[in-house]
Structure 1
Amino acid sequence: MKLDISHMRYMTADDFKVLQATEQGSRNHEIVPTTLIHQLSGMRAQSGTNRSISDLAKLKLISKVRNAKYDGYRLTYNGIDYLALHSMLNRNTVYSIGGSIGVGKESDIYKVSDKNGTEKVMKMHRLGRTSFTTVRNNRDYLKKNSKNGVNWMVLSRLAAQKEYQFITLLYAKGFNVPEPFDNSRHVIIMELIRGFPMRRLRKHKNLPLLYTNLMKFIVKLGCSGLIHCDYNEFNIMIKDEDHIDPNDPEELGFVVIDFPQSISIQHKDAEFYFKRDVDCIRRFFKKKLKYEPKDDPTMLDTDGFGEGYRYAYPDFNRDITRTDNLDELVQASGFSKKHPGDRDLEDAMEEMRNTDEADEAAQEENSDAENSDEEDESDDDEYYYSESEESEDGDDVNSLDEENERIIEALSSGVGNLKMDKMGNYILED
């Protein structure tokens, strides 16, 4: 989805009141009645509300649903984009917005700057766009017999809030993650990493050190109570050499991004996802960097992994010993009961993790067929952001949403009686 903010400068305070009222009414209405929008906006005259509604509809910030039983409107992704940016502009965390530097399955990445000219990254979560193109487990996202589909705007907002909590806590604990600056709705502002995604790495001055540091990051995160669940070459940024401090003993030369899928080590599938994260790094180093260490029983050092150490890679049962409770502090999936409303997000994240497993298998198959180190970057599903290279916009693909057991079965078997409603959710046509 292309971000167009050219009309924001011409919007009045009343326009934003009406837009925010529509957002507020969307919490319990698929289509927000015009009378309710007027009440929530606090506008004195109905005519003023109607004028703002008309202007917002022309800008496609809200949309009127045809054949509705009453006169009403719903918020669009453009509308929630404007609300999020308006909030951060008022807080002076964003002053100007540049072009897109990354497009992915679950988010769009833009370069922004504050009033001081400091460049930052703006991540806009877009759950429901292409995140769920396959159904691997029969899961019910909503309550039984629910006629409403998943509200992807709500899930995008929850995902952004959850990731902001993760990186805020991890950054404070000294983990190599981007510095977070602000969060509003489905948008996060964080540090711009001067470097490139690890998937483009073909040589390194010290591969054994990079390998062991990447493995130690997984273990350190696990001992703190968390598992990344998407730890691969797409979500690891290698810093440019001129932005690495040689005098800093804590400098690892890389930064890990993308945390909305992280789970607790108490999750029932924690060992599986931990092993998958480890295998992703091992597979990349083997295929692209031709580095595949083996266990060496003659070595006594177990503080690292790979060449010169006893073990070639971490093991969940052997190496994970809880030293912190970060999963409890952020209420990570699998730790304990969650706040009402988090259930849908956790189900969506679970399906995303399962979908990523299928994507990795496909990527591995494609990688085996490559005869050179050059990669076709236009085929990558994952996003990345980099100072030196811009990504092309990816095509928006309709996502498959499950509303109950019958829809899941229909999607799995290819039954053709599926229909999409006005909110973009799948329903079964009788």
Structure 2
Amino acid sequence: MPVSADDIRSLHKYEIRILKGIERLMKRYQWVPEDKLREAADLSMSELNYRLGHLMAKNMVKSSTLPYQGYQLVFNGYDTLAVNALVKKGTVQALGCLLGVGKESAVYEALGVGVVVLKFHRIGQRSFQSVRLNRNYLPEWKHFPWIFASNESATREFEALKELHRGGVSVPVPVGINRNVVAMSFIAGVNLNQAVLENPDEVLDEILENMRIAYSLGYIHNDLSEFNVMVDNERVWIIDWPQWIDPSHENADEILKRDLYNIVNYFSKKYGISFTVEEALKRVVG
């Protein structure tokens, strides 16, 4: 289940302390031992157990009795720490409604300095090992919990958005990050697959121009399709950048052609635009 704003607001300061203790100790333990957690949280055993009961009821922590009594954060707990930190920084004032859930993220509306979007990265929720094999940016640690994979993914996207925005690519403006959560500007548009375009040729041209600029800056999207492009009155934004690769990547040509095929094929099927991948490739790489 997605994180609940009410659950975040209702947390006691001891419960925040426990979540931070588990987070810190998960870098050393697959399951954080109860005695180590009690020391880290500086609470009596009765208080610790009482607060852990609340956290588990809110689906922020899970426990195991094998091979010993231990605890792990689950995504709602990690999300909570991130939102709590963004609130303290002043990036976020209130968490709004859930806008959408994808394979590896959940997106919320929020209030900051105006309306913003919070993207909660949730890498590996379904199959962490599969994700790790296919993401060369994940550190080769012997013990690497999925929550830290989500942190790496968020950081990667945030840094890419900063560089792309600075370089002139039409992307959401990144405004803050903590752990696995990226705060960015709100786009009052719809996904390309949901739009009915009056001037599809112009929109395709704008998408290819953005891909060209991104390529010149050292970025290939690596997951581009009609689901990762947003439009508003014919203006285009390219979203979802955590999987980007550098043009020097050994599979860059193949991946770029796949991105281009997805876009060109979509415009061909929906709008009858005759434009080949080879023509699109010339537009992007010169």
TM-score by length of 2: 0.88
How far is the alpha carbon of 1:40 from its aligned partner? 2.4
1:73-88 alignment, distance < 5 Å: 73-88=71-86
Match status 1:284 vs 2:266: yes
Partner of 1:223: 216
Pairs aligned (count) = 284
Give the Cα–Cα distance (whole angstroms) in 2 for the partners of residues 21 and 130 of structure 1: 25
Partner of 1:97: 95
Partner of 1:405: none
How far is the alpha carbon of 1:45 from its aligned partner? 4.6
Higher strand share: 2
Partner of 2:22: 22
The CA RMSD measured in Å over matched residues stands at 3.0
| Greater RCO, CA 8 A, separation 6+ | 1
How far is the alpha carbon of 1:48 from its aligned partner? 4.1
> Over residues 267-310 of structure 1, what are the superposed CA-to-partner deviations in whole Å (9 max), with x where a residue is unaligned?
0000101111111111011000111147xxxxxxxxxx9xxxxx
Contact 2:3-2:80 at 8 Å conserved across structures: no
Partner of 1:56: 55
Determine which structure has more spread, i.e. the larger CA radius of gyration: 1
Give the Cα–Cα distance (whole angstroms) in 2 for the partners of residues 217 and 85 of structure 1: 31
Higher helix share: 2
Match status 1:314 vs 2:285: no
1:389-404 alignment, distance < 5 Å: none
Contact 1:61-1:75 at 8 Å conserved across structures: yes
1:38-187 alignment, distance < 5 Å: 38-41=38-41, 43=42, 45-66=44-65, 68-114=66-112, 116=113, 118-130=114-126, 151-187=145-181
Are residues 269 and 138 of structure 1, via their aligned partners in 2, closer, same or farther at CA, if it must alter by over 3 Å? closer
Are residues 156 and 262 of structure 1, via their aligned partners in 2, closer, same or farther at CA, if it must alter by over 3 Å? same
Give the Cα–Cα distance (whole angstroms) in 2 for the partners of residues 129 and 188 of structure 1: 18
Partner of 1:402: none
Partner of 1:8: 8
How far is the alpha carbon of 1:28 from its aligned partner? 1.7
Match status 1:240 vs 2:233: yes
Give the Cα–Cα distance (whole angstroms) in 2 for the partners of residues 20 and 259 of structure 1: 28
Are residues 73 and 165 of structure 1, via their aligned partners in 2, closer, same or farther at CA, if it must alter by over 3 Å? same
Contact 1:96-1:113 at 8 Å conserved across structures: yes
Match status 1:193 vs 2:187: yes
Pick one of 224, 240, 244 that aligns with 1:258.
240
Q: Which ranges of structure 1 fall in alignment gaps of 5 or more residues? A: 242-252, 295-304, 306-310, 322-430
Give the Cα–Cα distance (whole angstroms) in 1 for the partners of residues 194 and 5 of structure 2: 32
Give the Cα–Cα distance (whole angstroms) in 2 for the partners of residues 261 and 50 of structure 1: 40
Contact 1:227-1:264 at 8 Å conserved across structures: yes
How far is the alpha carbon of 1:133 from its aligned partner? 11
Q: Which ranges of structure 2 fall in alignment gaps of 5 or more residues? A: none
How far is the alpha carbon of 1:139 from its aligned partner? 10
Partner of 2:34: 34
> Over residues 299-342 of structure 1, what are the superposed CA-to-partner deviations in whole Å (9 max), with x where a residue is unaligned?
xxxxxx9xxxxx83224xx9637xxxxxxxxxxxxxxxxxxxxx
Q: Which residue identity is paired with 2:182?
A: I
How far is the alpha carbon of 1:54 from its aligned partner? 3.6
3-state DSSP of counterpart to 2:279: coil
Give the Cα–Cα distance (whole angstroms) in 2 for the partners of residues 139 and 126 of structure 1: 14
Q: Which residue identity is paired with 1:99?
A: C
How far is the alpha carbon of 1:234 from its aligned partner? 0.6
Give the Cα–Cα distance (whole angstroms) in 2 for the partners of residues 53 and 132 of structure 1: 25
Contact 2:176-2:184 at 8 Å conserved across structures: yes
